[in-house]
Amino acid sequence: MYIAVFYLVLAMVSITSGASLAKSIFPAIGPEMTTVLRLSFAAIILSVVFRTWKWVPRRKQLKPFILYGASLGLMNMLFYLAIARIPLGIAIALEFTGPLAVALYGTRHWRDLIWVACAVAGIGLLLPVNAASAQLDPIGVALALLAGVFWALYIFAGKYAGASGHDHGMHSGITVAWGMSVAALISIPFGCIATGGVGQIDGHIILLATGVALLSSAIPYSLEMAALKKLPTRTYGILTSMEPAVGALSGFLFLSEHLAGLQLLAIACIMVASIGSTYDNNQINH
């Protein structure tokens, strides 16, 4: 079990490090084109690893993959646009409200009110309406929250695509690879319109973008798959809730992003809400 926990922590470090590396490319090509390159290279890597050409979806199977890929692509695009304006740890915390809302949806336990209150308090402290967060870009905050909405949609679309793929004998890795490919295709127009083409992309940028794809997709996906085989779902969900803190640390170490005390408290509130709702939901399910 300890090795599985190590895998999951390493996956979170990889994801947040990938986001930090991606943010360092923004001045050269912008968040939109960074998203395109990240998703495209991740799609290529996953397609080669899982040999997607052996399982090509038929026309009637396309809808689940299009919904899955669209939500994945827009979630990533909005998140990168958000971290271009606000610190990484804060963006991750705000984005976490999406899966948190999914976890709380439909539950009827009285303790859910506590987790909702924690989440609302955290979001309230991060809104640029108080002294601690007055300097935060309101558009960046809105983009992070919208990324959370698409993360919630991604969860439902992922289940839909996964069930459809399973019914047709497709491995979960194949489903992710095809979804990533759709996400890359959907992101290309946004990237090209925002940057006016691909003329500014050189070998150095391609190398960095490949690193982003590996750190943000290929490596953490493999580590999470290995961790899930050994960890209970509750433990996995609770540990994953630590990602905003890991993101804040990554932003501090690699991007010199310093957060105020109340902003750190806000991140902690959202993490507590995520941990609590994860624990309660698994208690109910078992």
| pLDDT tens by residue, 182-207 | 999 999 988 877 766 555 777 888 99
Residue 92 confidence (pLDDT): 92
Distance CA 44, CA 47 (A): 5
Residue 149 confidence (pLDDT): 93
Would you place residue 258 in the very low, low, confident or very high pLDDT band (cuts 50, 70, 90)? confident
Question: Across the chain, what does the average pLDDT equal?
Answer: 82
**What's the domain range around 9?**
2-285
Check: CB of residue 255 under 8 Å from CB of residue 24: yes
Q: Which percentage of the chain shows pLDDT scores above 90?
A: 30
Would you place residue 133 in the very low, low, confident or very high pLDDT band (cuts 50, 70, 90)? low
Q: How many domains does the chain have?
A: 1
DSSP 223-259: HHHHHHTTS-HHHHHHHHTTHHHHHHHHHHHHH----
CB atoms closer than 10 angstroms to residue 200: 12
Distance CA 120, CA 49 (A): 41
Check: CB of residue 191 under 8 Å from CB of residue 33: yes
CA-based end-to-end distance of the chain: 20
